[in-house]
Structure 1
Amino acid sequence: MRTRLSTQQRREQLLGIGAGLFAKRPYDEVPIEEVAEIAQVSRGLLYHYFPTKKDFFAEIVRGQRDQLLEMSAPDPALPVVEQLRAGLDVYLEFARTHPDGYRIVHRATGGDDDAIREIREAGMAANAERILTALGALTTVTETTRVAVRGWLTFVATVILGWLDQPTITQDELRDLCARTLFAAVGVTP
């Protein structure tokens, strides 16, 4: 029997189901009908909320990215090194407690979809700006610094994905590795 939900509740339900499915299987292997079946709604109702499968997937990626950005916002009252450590702690804890959401944001392809690339790029740009702003208190931010931070963000995403699949070191060890790598990449001794 189908449960009556408010528009917002139904939308959130559909996004949650989709997030779970897309985190475990590639985009092309998740039929929209499966989402509708799990939610016990018609495919037409799902398309009422999200006009296409790509729109649905993009909204999932955007939602997971926004949640992660909100949770990892830096505390400017902390010293720079502590801001970084605190941000990494939140990021790693999100990945550990929301592995599906983390995988969606960092493994999302959605085919050759420009919207997905733009969502991921906006998340990376927001994180890079946060880090560059903090680093500005320790060093002069140059174009080399910017390139190093962008590369470091890709490194962090990759090592966290590997850690989620095979957690061979502790969360604290991974955080410290990531922090040391950033400072080495930008040539700063904390």
Structure 2
Amino acid sequence: MGTGVRRRMGVEERRQQLIGVALDLFSRRSPDDVSIDEIASAAGISRPLVYHYFPGKLSLYEAALQRASDDLASRFVEPPDGPLGARLLRVMRRYFDFVDEHGPGFAALMRGGPAVGSSATNALIDSVRQAAYVQILSHLGVEKAPARLELVVRSWISLAESTALIWLDGRRIPRAELEVQLVQDFAALAAVSAAQDEEMAALLRGALHQEPAGGPFTDLVTKLLALAT
């Protein structure tokens, strides 16, 4: 039979525990609605002890946000093997896994939570977007993007964010359909740019030539051609 004596945590271990507890609570409800008392209770410690490790909820929120942003950025990492459409679809599935698991926190992050106006918070959000941008370029085999490609990729990342936020508000469209749609949105944005620029056209042709029948890109082309007839 156990003694019920709790093991004393080291400073960094306790900090990481509090970050994990806060992230879990922020993931289920808006950070504005989560109190320090709730975080302390969930961690099994006193309110003053929370303040011993973090000066306030904002600093704890930012620490939780750092962990969440690292996690979200990692969802865009994908081995450079196979058709681009399939790779982007796997990225979108992992991205929506995160959105699904951290819905209120994700919404608060993108729409503004208790850290609104915080330069640290804004920098974290920008770092996720930049990590996603770099990863998408790596999927395309491009190190330095020309202006039109940069516009396509950054616009698509913004579209993924706004789509996820709208989906969270009622989840009226099946998630799997949105994941495919976003991959096809990327192809559509690239196609519009390719119609104006030969460098983009060559990049898109290369991607399409690798696509198998039934892939998300070829499926879009088939459906667009059917609309035109």
Q: TM-score range by the shorter chain?
A: 0.7 to 0.9
Cα RMSD for the two superposed structures: 2.7
- Note the 1:4-83 alignment, pairs <5 A: 4=7, 6-7=9-10, 10-23=14-27, 24-27=29-32, 29-83=33-87
Aligned residue for 1:183? 187
| 2:78/2:91 contact within 8 Å kept | yes
- Note the 1:118-129 alignment, pairs <5 A: 118-129=123-134
The one-letter amino acid paired with 1:118 is: A
Within the alignment, does 1:131 sit opposite 2:136 as a pair? Answer: yes
Mapped to 1, the partners of 2:145 and 2:86 lie a distance apart of 19
Mapped to 1, the partners of 2:19 and 2:41 lie a distance apart of 14
The one-letter amino acid paired with 1:90 is: R
Listed as ranges, the gaps of 5+ residues in structure 1 are none
| 2:26/2:105 contact within 8 Å kept | no
TM-score, normalization by structure 1: 0.82
Aligned residue for 1:158? 162
**Could you tell me the percent identity over the aligned residues?**
27
CA offset digits 1:124-170 (Å, max 9, x no partner)? 00001111222346xx9321221222122111111112212322222
CA-CA distance at 1:174 after TM superposition: 0.3
CA offset digits 1:64-102 (Å, max 9, x no partner)? 111222244111123322221111111122322443554
Aligned residue for 2:94? 90
The structure having more radius of gyration, on CA atoms, is 2
Aligned pair count reads 187
Mapped to 2, the partners of 1:96 and 1:181 lie a distance apart of 21
| 1:20/1:100 contact within 8 Å kept | no
Mapped to 1, the partners of 2:53 and 2:155 lie a distance apart of 36
Mapped to 1, the partners of 2:70 and 2:24 lie a distance apart of 17
The one-letter amino acid paired with 1:115 is: A
The one-letter amino acid paired with 1:132 is: L
Mapped to 2, the partners of 1:128 and 1:88 lie a distance apart of 14
Mapped to 2, the partners of 1:17 and 1:134 lie a distance apart of 35
The one-letter amino acid paired with 2:48 is: G
